[in-house]
Amino acid sequence: MKVAQLFGNQIELRELDNVSLAGKKGAVVKVLGCGLCGSDIVKFRHGLAEDGTVLGHEIVAIIEEIDSETSFKIGDRIVCSHHIPCFECHYCRGGSYSMCRHFKKTNIVPGGFSEYVYLSEEHLKNVAHKVPDNMTDEEISFYEPLGCCIRAVERASLNKGDNVLVIGLGSIGILMGQALKAYGMNVYGCDLMEERINLANQKGIIAFNSADIEKSHEYIYKNTNDIGADCIFMTSGADAAIPLALKTVRNGGKILVFSSTPKDFGYANNDIYYRELTVMGSYSPRPQDLAKSFELLTTGQVNVKYLSTDYLLDNIVKAFDDTIKNKILKAYIKIGG
Ligand SMILES: [Zn+2]
Ligand SMILES: [Zn+2]
C-alpha cells in the first residue's frame, strides 16, 4: 500500500506491506481521504516526528475487513479519530483526558496518509461514526478538528450570550466561531487577511481586521458596553496575537490558548494577577466532544463549505507547501475516494 512518510522534514511516498487484522479485533479500512492538520504541519516543519512516521489522523474511510462487537459492517463509510482516553487514570478522573498516557499512546496504524489503515476495537467503540449518505468525504473530514474546537468551548465553560473573540480566522478559527455560535455565544473574530475575514462573515462570525491593536480594542469595547470580551480563543499561531488578547479580554475574563507560537513567550504575570485573568490551554478532544462534532456537522449547524482544498496523495508535498504559504485554508488529501 502507498503511504506518505516523514523523514526529517521531507515527505516521501513509499510502499509498505498492507495492514491486516491478523487475528486482532478491529477493522482494516480503505482510506478515502484525510485532512491535513495544523499539528501535522508543525511536525513536518520542525522535523518533530520519528523517521518513517505516517502523519494524518482526520480520516474518512470504508470498512474492508472487520472483527468487532460493534454494529459496523464491511462497506460502511466511517469517520474516525486517533486517540482514546482510558477514563480511569488520575488524569482522566481529573478531567485532563488528553493528558492521559493511554490517550497519547493510542493511534491509527500506520497513520492517515495511507491507502489502508488498521483501527482497533477501541477506536470503533469510542471514536468512529457511520457517515450519512448525504455528506461528502470532505465535509465529514472536519469531524476531528471540530471536535478539538468543541473541547475548547467546553473547557471555557461560558454562559450563553457571552461575548467571545476568536483571534485567527484560518479553518480552525472559522470552525471555532461556528461551534461557539452553536453554543449560543455572541461571536467576534479577527484576522489580518481580507479573504478570511469575508469568509468568516459569511459563516455568521462578526469579523474584522485586527492589524491595528488600538482600533481592535476600541471596536470590542464599543460592542461590549465598555467591558471587553468574556473569552478570547487563540487560534492564531502569531506572537502578536498575545498582546491583542490582553487588550481585548475583559477584567476577570478568560484566554483559551489553542495554538503554539514561535517565540513561546507568555502572558504577563501582573495582567493575570491584577485583572484576575484565567489563561488555559485546550489540546485534543474526548469521545463526547467528537460525538458533539459529528452532530453539529451532520445537522448542518457547522458549515464547512469553502474551507478545504483537495489534493491527491501524490501531490501531498504541495498540500503541505500551500498550507504553509497560506495559499489555502486547509488541505484535504484524497486517497482512495
Ligand atoms: Zn487534527
Ligand atoms: Zn486515562
What does the DSSP 8-state code read for residue 236?
-
| Distance (Å, whole) CA 138 – CA 48 | 27
Ligand nearest to the CA of 97: 2
What pLDDT does 261 receive? 85
What number is the average pLDDT over the span 42-53?
Answer: 90
CA of 59 to the centre of ligand 2 (A): 24
Q: Are 81 and 98 in contact (CB under 8 A)?
A: no
Could you give all domains of the chain from N- to C-terminal order, each with its CATH number? 2-141+308-334 (3.90.180.10), 149-281 (3.40.50.720)
pLDDT at 224 over 90: yes
Q: What is the DSSP track for 239-271?
A: TTHHHHHHHHEEEEEEEEE-S--SS-----HHH
Provide the residue count of the chain.
Answer: 337
Within 10 angstroms of residue 113's Cβ, the number of other Cβ atoms is 29
Question: What is the SS3 assignment for 46?
Answer: coil
- List alpha helices for 9-71, DSSP H: 38-45
Residues 6+ positions from 153 with CB-CB distance below 8 Å: 176, 179, 180, 183
CA of 94 to the centre of ligand 2 (A): 9
- 320 phi, psi to nearest 5 deg: -65, -45
What pLDDT does 233 receive? 98
Ligand nearest to the CA of 111: 1
CA of 159 to the centre of ligand 2 (A): 28
One-letter amino acid at 262 equals: P
CA of 333 to the centre of ligand 2 (A): 31
User: Own/partner pairs for 152-158, CB < 8 Å, 24+ apart?
Assistant: 152/176, 152/233, 152/256, 152/258, 152/282, 153/179, 153/180, 153/183, 154/289, 155/256, 155/280, 155/282, 156/231, 156/233, 156/254, 156/256, 156/280, 156/282, 158/183, 158/185, 158/230, 158/231, 158/254
Q: Are 250 and 230 in contact (CB under 8 A)?
A: yes
Cell of 252: 476577570
Cell of 84: 482514546
| Distance (Å, whole) CA 49 – CA 53 | 6
Within 10 angstroms of residue 301's Cβ, the number of other Cβ atoms is 12
What pLDDT does 264 receive? 66
- In this prediction, residue 195 has a pLDDT band, given cuts at 50, 70 and 90, of very high
Burial status of residue 209 (CB atoms within 10 A of its CB: 0-12, 13-18, 19 or more): middle
- Per mean pLDDT, which range of 6-10, 50-54, 206-210 is the poorest? 6-10
CA of 146 to the centre of ligand 1 (A): 9
Beta-sheet strands, E only, within the chain: 2-7, 10-15, 26-35, 53-54, 58-67, 77-80, 116-119, 128-130, 163-167, 186-191, 206-209, 229-234, 249-257, 278-281, 309-312, 331-334
Q: Report which of 215, 241, 220, 219 is spatially closest to residue 230, judged by C-alpha positions.
A: 220
Ligand nearest to the CA of 93: 2
Digit-coded pLDDT (tens) for 65-82: 999 999 999 999 999 999
CA of 74 to the centre of ligand 1 (A): 26
Ligand nearest to the CA of 42: 1
Q: What is the mean pLDDT of the chain?
A: 96
Q: Are 169 and 199 in contact (CB under 8 A)?
A: yes
CA of 286 to the centre of ligand 2 (A): 11
- In this prediction, residue 315 has a pLDDT band, given cuts at 50, 70 and 90, of very high
Compute the half-sphere exposure of residue 248: CA atoms within 13 Å on the CB side of its CA.
Answer: 32
Q: Are 118 and 21 in contact (CB under 8 A)?
A: yes
CA of 158 to the centre of ligand 1 (A): 24
Q: Are 18 and 315 in contact (CB under 8 A)?
A: no
pTM, rounded to two decimals: 0.96
| Distance (Å, whole) CA 39 – CA 18 | 26
pLDDT at 21 over 70: yes
- In this prediction, residue 103 has a pLDDT band, given cuts at 50, 70 and 90, of very high
Q: Report which of 182, 179, 190 is spatially closest to residue 245, judged by C-alpha positions.
A: 190
Q: Bridge-partner residues for 66, per DSSP?
A: 27
